Amino acid sequence: MHKKIIATIILLIITLSSFACAICGCGGSNFYLGLMPHFRTKFIGIRYEYSNYNTVLTNNPTQFSHNYYNSVQVWGGFNVAKRWQLLYIVPVHFNKQIDDDGFTSKNGLGDASIMANYLLFHKTKTYEHNAGIEQQLWVGGGFKLPTGKMDVNLKDPNITVADVNAQLGTGSVDFILTTMYNLRIGNWGINTILTYKANTAKSEYQFGNKFTGSAIGYFNIVLKHINLMPNAGMMYENTAANTLSKISVAATGGYVTNAMAGVEVGIKKMNIGITGMAPVSQYYAAGQTKLNWRGDVHVSFSF
């Protein structure tokens, strides 16, 4: 049974990849954790992320682009002692852009991330009928490493924002701060994650710092051999404008608020999940860029 489920997930990832592609460049600066698998010692998995954007210039509607993200990520983590946890994400991007000038694409290794989290507190209180309250608060941080290719001359006056955004990586070492809080009352729970990514400059070009906050409510349904966890929530992202020589670059930065829903399925040591997101409010690139939707499919194994 497990082999059939794994084959189905792999087939779904391949099928989605054949029709989807990555918005040029944003994949190099994106960072998203989402719901983490529950594990005692360690976990490893694969995650596919997709998002789709359209851009139309306000002053010239004939200038347009249809941009897509595809990212296949190997991610995992392991506990160190009682309170420390290490996490890593290694993405491979498949970038494609269709615009008024034609078609462009870039595929390859993206920027890897590594983080360390500390369990600040873990409290449980059990009532009758095994119902209880559990709280966990993790704080930590890490680095995004310049493992993705950046093959443009950022000092070339003819380089455009689109050229920079089309790269697989940012070319810089960036810093990540995270806070994760989980509250469970019986079979109900809410997971909150706050992330701030501070970017450094590459050849005086710096991608804007990004704040991400999400709150996801879930309900755990325990069946005979399967755990189902339907979930829904909101996610907010705010990205500062990019800068060149400390001067803001026009038509960069913005914010988006997404409604999100999904389901997690646990089968013994295996966890399968799918999440979809749709914007309820957004303002990118002076209102010229619109997110259509984004989502992810993942499978992981806990040990």
Contact predicate 177/128, CB 8 Å: no
pLDDT digits (tens, 9 = 90+) for 6-49: 443 333 333 333 332 222 334 445 556 666 666 678 999 999 99
CA–CA distance, 63 with 61 (Å, rounded to integer) = 5
Residue range(s) defining the domain that contains residue 240: 2-302
| Strand ranges inside the chain, DSSP E | 42-57, 60-80, 84-99, 102-109, 113-126, 132-144, 174-185, 188-198, 205-206, 210-219, 221-222, 227-239, 243-244, 247-248, 254-267, 270-284, 289-302
In whole angstroms, give the CA distance from residue 172 to residue 5.
38
Q: What does the pLDDT average to over 279-298?
A: 92
Q: Which of 64-78, 119-133, 159-173 has the lowest mean pLDDT?
A: 159-173
**pLDDT tens per residue across span 26-35:** 444 555 666 6
Instruction: Tell me the pTM.
Output: 0.85
On average, the pLDDT of the chain sits at 84
Looking up residue 35, the CATH number of its domain turns out to be 2.40.128.130
pLDDT at 161: 66
> Looking at the 3D structure of the chain, how many domains does it have?
1
How many angstroms separate the first and last alpha carbons of the chain? Answer: 19
Region of residue 241 (left: phi > 0; alpha: psi -120 to 50; beta: else): beta
What single letter denotes the amino acid at residue 145?
L
